[in-house]
Structure 1
Amino acid sequence: MRLRTALVGTTALGAVGLGLVVPTAPAYAADNACLAVEQTTPGTDTSRPSAPLAMLGVEAAQQHVARFGSSSGTPVRVAVVSSGVRFGDAGVIPLWSLKDLSGVGGDIVDPQGTEIAGLVSGVPRKDGQPVGVAPAAQIIDARVFVDSDSNEARERPAPATLAAGLNWVADEARPLNIKVAVVPFVVPDSQELRRAVKRLQDAGTVVVAASGDRPGEGAAFAADFKSPAAKDEDAGPLFFPAGYPGVVAVNATGTGDPAGALASVVKNSRTAVAAPTYDAVSYGLNEHTCLVQPTSTAAAAGIVAGVVALLWQRYPKERAAQIAARLINTADGTTDDPTPLTGYGIVQPYEALTRPLAPSRSGKVERTVEQSRPQTQAAAPEPADDLLASTREHAVWWGLIGGGLLVVVLMLRPVLARRRRA
């Protein structure tokens, strides 16, 4: 029985006294749930379409990139920093290179890395329905942990091991054109990890990270984390690399999930954007399509990483900050009022690709602000100087005098006439 994607395993946090109890989750046998798929699981595909991709209008976004995106140069590559990617002989995931930094090696038995890679760029199914958000992107497999095939808590890398993986990606970012790095789990803070994230960002890579899943029923959060029932729950100060500046921290919405989002995710004040994940289609360890269940911030990070890859394909000359700005400023929320569950909103791939934004090299987007005008009453204009006023005044007086004389003459005319007759 497989484990659900958890917050952080006890191995990763035990050294710093923040151990979490991560319970075994039920196997989702219905219609090939990805977490229940082993390499030996019978090779059948799910018949369902990817619900999140339909909700987000991903096919329209893919068509836009195919029409207007850059067709020259090196393909955009995405580093999946996780449990390893199984691509096998079927070629269902376009894997470019791999690096095992786990220190353990061996076969891939944890499905997380394969599931995330499939969400990023899994090839379409035989019926033409999409699987990956950016199927033209190529995957760089940076393996940093190995899960044992047991019912024990999933082992996560220590921050130092994750830092080593991110440092390797930073070293290869420019030579391999790694434009996106996705981390679908969380670990505690560390200076070494901070430096690795900063190096990767300085190399021009957009870092996308899960904001953190909720432990299953009966499990506990870290001792210094507020109760899940607390009104002011906030995973932001605890979970990394999602909590670092500049990292695109991704939460998941519960759209389509009977249990809702809060049964699987936590509130996180560092959330940048969100994406639906329930019933997304990806590839499992048996190289067949499967369904993403339950709701997962790890899967949401994979979907958003695919959207970022599409943006890089459309705008290959922009900087990482500009690409992130396009993603955030076109989400369906508002940049003035982010929330701990959806951040600036649910990603809108087609809007991100087509809205006429002009982010600066630092990622700043100028917004039109309505100018306020004083509410004052308009005054009547001052009359212009009348240059003929005196002339008109004299003419009036002469008219009056002339008119008076005419009246006198008319009155005296009969008198004068009688005098002449006499």
Structure 2
Amino acid sequence: MKGLDVKGLNVKDRTARSRSRIGRNSGTRALQRVLGVLAVTGVCLASAPPVSATPAASRPTDTGAPGSDESPDFGLADSTECVFGGDVIKSTPWSLQRILLDQLWAQAKGKGVKVGVIDTGVDASNQQLRSAVAGGKTFVDGAADKDIEGHGTRVAGIIAARPLKGTGFVGIAPEATVLSYRYTGGKEKQGNSGTMTSAIKAAVAAGAKIINISSDTANRKDNGPLRDAVAAAVASGALIIAAAGNDGADGKSADTYPASYPGVLAVAASDRNDERAFFSQAGDFVDVAAPGVGMVSTVPTDGQCTADGTSFAAPYVAGVAALLKEKYPDWSAAQIATRIQETAQRPGRGPNRYIGWGVVDPVAALSDGSTPAESPKPDPPVEAGSGGVVPMAVTMGETEAERERRVAIYVLGTGLALALVVAGSGVAVRDWRSRRVATSGRSGASGRSGRAGQGPGR
């Protein structure tokens, strides 16, 4: 389909691509499963029919270019569980299990904070989002509170989905307000970097202090008007949080936009081990990472589904930013970004090109009572003896205590050996004396016997 690549939704011209990885691997994974089963059973695959990536009933309305019959499996998982208007997932997602939610929400829930979601629209009919969506604007055909793709609805759910009985899924900031700006995902008219630029300006004008963009420009190209719109938003005090990208399987660095623009908090995806998800784009522009694998969230009409991608790592961080904005309303966007980065979990003192300053730690970000600077600083080096821990001295010889133990063992061993020698000598002397007495007795008896045998006939 013209304008569409396998990495997500590429609409015409200088388009923004979704950071979702759902449609990209679904057919491949399904085919791999079929091939594996048939290989084991020895069934010939020569006449095997193609495997459908997604059940027809769960596919969204055609969003291809005019005149095209193709439809991207955008936002859909390779599972029949992913159906718009389907069931909810009962268990608590792993991305929320890693957080002490009671401790987190005791400090803030995002109340009064407006979060702009610049995406494919947010379907307000989902019962976890009905009271969350409160405004927005569309720049393509269709209403801002509708979403035929499902991508924007997932993004919004991770940020601000309300609690719902029967499911463990809920948004990071369950009292934040979502403003939906539909810059792409239209049925007849698709958006591009121009509509994204307009959406950013509209979000700033509406008072959104946190803006989530889970897309990038096609072919990773810089764009002048988009760059200017981002700069103006940053100057106004808004914190733009953008997905880093899903083209990082080769591990090579590459800039993506708008994530690479100054003042934007670029988010990579991490896995269950707090390591970079293999698909997450690497680069010096990456600021922080967040869970982006197996992410549960809301879908249009009702229900939930799972998805992978930096698209769903960015709103995780946007939710944390909304909590910080409620707790510290006077903090600047740069201070909020700094707090998120400095409290993230990382393997080193500073950032790296894979997960930036580390994997976001929401509880740590809200619990630190200090006032952050405008930019993050590396952790101070750990000095010997700090933290009440006394390191063991490294020596090439034995310590005094070890020497005393060695001498004590020698003395004890020598004393025991002497005692054994004395005892053994006493037994030997006693046995020698006994044998001597016995020998003398036998010799005396023999002499008396010989003298008695001599007769008087001499």
Same fold (TM over 0.5): yes
- In the superposition, relative to structure 1, how do residues 78 and 10 fare at CA in structure 2: closer, same or farther (>3 Å)? closer
Deviations 1:186-211 (A, max 9, x none): 11311111110011112211100000
Q: Does 1:211 align with 2:228?
A: no
User: Residues 7-406 of structure 1 correspond to what in structure 2 (within 5 A)?
Assistant: 9=10, 11-13=12-14, 25-26=26-27, 27=53, 35-36=76-77, 41=84, 43-65=86-108, 75-88=112-125, 90=127, 92-93=129-130, 94-102=132-140, 108-127=147-166, 129-146=168-185, 148=187, 157-173=191-207, 178-187=208-217, 188-214=221-247, 229=250, 233-236=252-255, 239-255=256-272, 261-262=277-278, 264-291=279-306, 293=307, 295-333=308-346, 336-360=349-373, 362-363=374-375
Which residue type is aligned with residue 281 of structure 1? V
Task: Give distance in 2, aligned partners of 1:299 and 1:252.
Answer: 8
Which residue type is aligned with residue 285 of structure 1? P
- In the superposition, relative to structure 1, how do residues 141 and 367 fare at CA in structure 2: closer, same or farther (>3 Å)? same
Task: Give distance in 2, aligned partners of 1:130 and 1:247.
Answer: 28
Shift of 1:256: 7.4
Task: Give distance in 1, aligned partners of 2:195 and 2:85.
Answer: 34
Q: Per the alignment, in what secondary structure is the counterpart of residue 186 of structure 1?
A: strand
Counterpart contact for 2:81–2:305, Cα < 8 Å: no
Measured on the aligned residues, the alpha-carbon RMSD in Å equals 3.6
Which residue type is aligned with residue 147 of structure 2? I
Counterpart contact for 1:123–1:131, Cα < 8 Å: yes
Task: Give distance in 2, aligned partners of 1:210 and 1:91.
Answer: 23
Task: Give distance in 1, aligned partners of 2:210 and 2:363.
Answer: 19
**Matched residue, 1:414:** none
Q: Per the alignment, in what secondary structure is the counterpart of residue 251 of structure 1?
A: strand
Q: How many residues align?
A: 326
Bigger Rg over Cα: 2
Q: Per the alignment, in what secondary structure is the counterpart of residue 180 of structure 2?
A: strand
Q: Per the alignment, in what secondary structure is the counterpart of residue 327 of structure 1?
A: helix
Shift of 1:79: 0.3
Shift of 1:312: 0.6
Shift of 1:114: 0.3
- In the superposition, relative to structure 1, how do residues 365 and 255 fare at CA in structure 2: closer, same or farther (>3 Å)? closer
Shift of 1:65: 2.1
Shift of 1:164: 1.1
Shift of 1:92: 2.9
Which residue type is aligned with residue 87 of structure 1? A
Counterpart contact for 2:128–2:161, Cα < 8 Å: no
Task: Give distance in 2, aligned partners of 1:105 and 1:25.
Answer: 29
Q: Per the alignment, in what secondary structure is the counterpart of residue 120 of structure 1?
A: helix
- In the superposition, relative to structure 1, how do residues 41 and 324 fare at CA in structure 2: closer, same or farther (>3 Å)? closer
Shift of 1:319: 1.1
Which residue type is aligned with residue 51 of structure 1? W
Counterpart contact for 1:166–1:200, Cα < 8 Å: yes
Q: Per the alignment, in what secondary structure is the counterpart of residue 80 of structure 1?
A: strand
- In the superposition, relative to structure 1, how do residues 255 and 168 fare at CA in structure 2: closer, same or farther (>3 Å)? same
The worse-fitting range, judged by mean Cα deviation, of 135-144 and 48-57 is 48-57
- In the superposition, relative to structure 1, how do residues 146 and 42 fare at CA in structure 2: closer, same or farther (>3 Å)? closer
Q: Which 5+ residue runs of structure 1 have no aligned equivalent? A: 16-21, 150-154, 216-227, 373-422
Percent identity, aligned pairs only? Answer: 26
- In the superposition, relative to structure 1, how do residues 369 and 8 fare at CA in structure 2: closer, same or farther (>3 Å)? same
**Matched residue, 2:449:** none
Task: Give distance in 1, aligned partners of 2:82 and 2:160.
Answer: 20
Counterpart contact for 2:214–2:311, Cα < 8 Å: yes
Q: Per the alignment, in what secondary structure is the counterpart of residue 226 of structure 2?
A: helix
Which residue type is aligned with residue 300 of structure 2? L
Shift of 1:11: 2.4
Task: Give distance in 2, aligned partners of 1:316 and 1:128.
Answer: 31
Shift of 1:170: 1.9
The worse-fitting range, judged by mean Cα deviation, of 325-334 and 178-187 is 325-334
Counterpart contact for 1:275–1:346, Cα < 8 Å: yes
Q: Which 5+ residue runs of structure 2 have no aligned equivalent? A: 17-22, 28-52, 59-73, 385-458
Which residue type is aligned with residue 280 of structure 2? V
Which residue type is aligned with residue 171 of structure 1? A
Shift of 1:104: 6.2
Shift of 1:14: 8.2
Counterpart contact for 1:46–1:289, Cα < 8 Å: yes
Deviations 1:15-72 (A, max 9, x none): 9xxxxxx95743578xx99624899745311122121011243443122326xx8x7x
Q: Per the alignment, in what secondary structure is the counterpart of residue 170 of structure 1?
A: helix
Counterpart contact for 2:289–2:313, Cα < 8 Å: yes
